[in-house]
Amino acid sequence: LLLNVPSSLTQSKFERMLEDEYVLRRRCVELGIPLFTSLEAFAAYVDGVRWLESHPVTVEPLYGSEERGEPSPHPAASR
């Protein structure tokens, strides 16, 4: 996970920063590393992770029988 929050810069430093930021974002995408570029987005991520810790995610089939492990026909197919 990477948190990179740009600061205010002069025009020349800003242009250099844009190039560096592009390389940083590109490498994060290539390596599958989550990247946050604002404190607000990172805070929302942290809130979401905390929520998930106390609210486990469940996965249930939309169609099919869990006992037999076979899919049931799609409702639209029986028309």
pLDDT for 77 beyond 70:
no
Q: Could you give the CA distance from residue 35 to residue 55 in angstroms, rounded to a whole number? A: 24
Q: Could you give the CA distance from residue 31 to residue 65 in angstroms, rounded to a whole number? A: 39
| Domain residue ranges in the chain | 1-55
Quick one: pLDDT band at residue 78, thresholds 50, 70, 90?
low
What pLDDT digit, counting tens, does each position of 19-74 carry? Answer: 788 899 999 999 999 999 899 999 999 999 999 999 988 888 888 766 666 665 66
pLDDT for 3 beyond 70:
yes
